[in-house]
Amino acid sequence: MKILISNDDGIDSPGILALADELKKIGQVTVIAPRTEQSAVGHSITMKMPLRITEYYRNGDFFGYAIDGTPADCIKIGIRNIMKEAPDIVISGINLGSNTAINIIYSGTVSAAREAAIMDVPAIAVSVTSHEAKHYKYAAELSRKLAELVVKNKLKTGTLLNVNVPDLPEEQIAGILLTQQGKSKWDDVYVERQDPYGKNYYWLTGNLVQVDNALETDQFAVRNNYVSITPIHFDLTDYETYDVMKGWKLENLGNNK
Amino acid sequence: MKILISNDDGIDSPGILALADELKKIGQVTVIAPRTEQSAVGHSITMKMPLRITEYYRNGDFFGYAIDGTPADCIKIGIRNIMKEAPDIVISGINLGSNTAINIIYSGTVSAAREAAIMDVPAIAVSVTSHEAKHYKYAAELSRKLAELVVKNKLKTGTLLNVNVPDLPEEQIAGILLTQQGKSKWDDVYVERQDPYGKNYYWLTGNLVQVDNALETDQFAVRNNYVSITPIHFDLTDYETYDVMKGWKLENLGNNK
């Protein structure tokens, strides 16, 4: 099995090392990841600037390729110009901090996996729920088992799995749940400060407001110590509203021919 | 009606000027847009750096607020710190170049409108299909009519309209269609070159491969000279695969309690 591993925390993060080491047990691993941290870049791609590819070493051994771009860039250039053929699976992570509910939209970790799905490659995004994660081992082992299951069960083209793992020892994990994206949102606050020249600047902070309370949602599942596995795709059409809008008679705004 | 206008081409683009001038006919317009072009930034937000707000003038008259961030940043800080209350509608555009099919994922124009929808504000993203657009007037007028319709018909919270307008004189527009996101994708090519120091660099180019051929899809509609209006949302759950995966017995990977 050919496995491409990426992330958004950067190629020097402990999460990507734990993931690569574990996945080597079941396949040929290629690591292609951002040179620097790219959190919250969403599905950004680099078009106005060129990219560069640098070989990255850990303790003197070749570990992978560092790209001075976004997670989505890594998957695109990684498959097109480094691997030169599609891998059997792409795994993005292990991310520091959960990617549930509305955070899926902002996540660089998820965007790497989504770019793979766009390129028709099965993909998994994996996050642990703490920014000071202590328990990568269980998340890495679960990623390996899930990768085998995804390939065996032939996950639908264009769909990826978004996995969130509580940052707990394995014996404290309550179980594994199939979930849907939750509806939590951020209550944003921009902290206003003055720079040394008397000019104002604004720094984004905020609190995640949870509005779900069912184990079928990703956010609620991880808060109750379950691993959450959500199938997501990139068809953004709101079919319910599509049906409602048939009654809007949009054609009356123009002269339909 | 309080109207917030943003874009991803930057506050000095002709598209945002055409939109603001037209929307002033029906409401109180506030323009809050990126200081510089932010195409293909996806749903990126700025967290590692502070933002600054600058007043922007056109021909000596105050036009709006320039933010040194992404389109999604503009909506967040615009509503939280500049307007200080939610507008009745957010309109993003008019973008140079179509945002159909897979491009919705990468689009900064759409991300501004999506951020509004996340904040429970009705929103419209508007693009003209040419990068050398000549016909903003029709797209601006249509945006005005559609804004009135969205507020009157109470578009569902969390849904936005993604509008693509062929770059043609009004009399050559075939009509207006309610559409779904198409399935076209990019065939990426990274052009490889050497810098003056002999190091390789890679520049993203590519062709959009069209795989749809029904007027119900955005991409095909605009290619046939129709205006395309697609309702999109940010629930990324793939419910079809969710049902399929109930048969995967994920709980067997762990010890569900």
pLDDT digits (tens, 9 = 90+) for A28-87: 999 999 999 887 778 888 888 899 999 999 999 999 999 999 999 999 999 999 999 999
Span of A14-23, B60-69, B143-152, B199-208 with lowest mean pLDDT:
B199-208
Identify the residue among B8, B38, B44 best suited for mutation to test binding to A, counting A beta carbons within 10 A and taking the highest.
Answer: B44
Q: What percent of chain A has pLDDT over 70?
A: 99
How do residues B76-124 score in pLDDT, each as one tens digit? 999 999 999 999 999 999 999 999 999 999 999 999 999 999 999 999 9
- Record: contact B153-A118, CB cut-off 8 A: no
Burial class for B175, CB neighbours closer than 10 Å (0-12, 13-18, 19+): middle
The alpha carbon of residue A143 and the mean position of all alpha carbons in its chain are separated, in whole angstroms, by 13
Check: CB of residue A127 under 8 Å from CB of residue A164. Answer: yes
- Chain A hits for B173, Cβ within 8 Å: 254-255
Whether residue A199 lies inside any domain: the answer is no
Of A46, A104, A192, the CB nearest to B236: A104
Contacts of B75 (CB under 8 A, 6+ apart): B4, B6, B32, B90, B112, B115, B116, B119
User: Shortest CB distance from B176 goes to which of A153, A199, A250?
Assistant: A250
CB-CB neighbors (< 8 A) of B251 in chain A: 175-177
Q: What is the pLDDT of residue B257?
A: 63
Q: Which of A37, A145, A181, A238 to mutate to test the interface with B (most CBs of B within 10 A)?
A: A238
Q: What residues of chain B lie within 8 A of the CB of A242, using their CB?
A: 178, 180, 230-231
Residue B60 included in any domain: yes
pLDDT tier for residue A257 given thresholds of 50, 70 and 90: low
**Could you tell me which chain A residue has the CA closest to the CA of B37?**
A48
pLDDT in tens, B118-137: 999 999 999 999 988 888 99
- Per the model's pLDDT, the better-predicted residue between A257 and A220 turns out to be A220
C-beta of residue A60 within 8 angstroms of C-beta of residue A117: no
Does A188 map to a domain? no
**Residue B169's domain is classified under what CATH number?**
3.40.1210.10
The reply to whether residue B234 touches residue A236, judged by beta carbons under 8 angstroms, is yes
Mention every residue, 6+ apart, whose C-beta is less than 8 A from residue A174.
Answer: A224, A225, A226, B256, B257
Kindly state the average pLDDT of the residues A208-214: 80
User: Looking at the domain assignment, is residue B201 inside a domain?
Assistant: no
Residue A197 inside a domain? The answer is no
Of B42, B52, B176, Cβ closest to residue A43: B42
pLDDT of residue B39: 78
CA distances from B63 to A16, A100, B6, B30 (A): 46, 38, 12, 8
- Asked whether the beta carbons of residue A176 and residue B256 sit closer than 8 angstroms, the reply is yes
Q: Hey, what's the torsion of the CAs at B225, B128, B73, A115, to 10 degrees?
A: 50
Decide if B253 and A142 are in contact by the 8 Å CB cutoff.
Answer: yes
Average pLDDT over residues B171-185: 93
- pLDDT band of residue B31 (cuts 50, 70, 90) is very high
Q: What pLDDT score does B142 carry?
A: 96
Average pLDDT for chain A: 93
Quickly tell me which residue has 């790209």 as its tokens. A67
Residues in B closer than 8 angstroms to A80, CB to CB, are 188-190
**Mean pLDDT in residue range B191-200:** 92
Substitution target from A9, A44, A73, A173 for chain B, most B beta carbons within 10 A: A44
Q: Nearest C-alpha of chain B: how many angstroms from A135?
A: 16
* Contact: B45, A42; criterion CB under 8 Å: yes
What pLDDT digit, counting tens, does each position of A157-202 carry?
999 999 999 999 999 999 999 999 998 878 889 999 999 999 999 9
Per-residue pLDDT tens over the stretch A122-151: 999 999 999 888 889 999 999 999 999 999
Q: How far is B59 from chain A (nearest CA, A)?
A: 25
The predicted structure's pLDDT at residue A40: 75
Q: Can you tell me the mean pLDDT for A192-219?
A: 89
Q: Using the beta-carbon criterion (under 8 Å), do A231 and B251 form an inter-chain contact?
A: no
Establish if A216 belongs to a structural domain.
yes
Q: Domain range spanning residue B150?
A: 2-182+213-253
Q: What is the mean pLDDT of residues B55-79?
A: 96
From chain A, the residues in CB contact with B142 under 8 A are: 253-254
Q: Which tokens in the block code for residue B156?
A: 């569902």
Mean model confidence pLDDT for chain B = 93
B99 lies in a domain?
Answer: yes
Contact B202 A244 (CB under 8 A): no
pTM to 2 decimal places: 0.93
Give me the residue from A80, A190, A257 closest to B188, CB to CB: A80
Domain count, chain B: 1
CB contact under 8 A, B104 and A253: no
The answer to the question of residue A201 being in a domain is no
Whether A248 sits inside 8 A of B104 (CB atoms) is no
Q: What is the ipTM of this complex?
A: 0.92
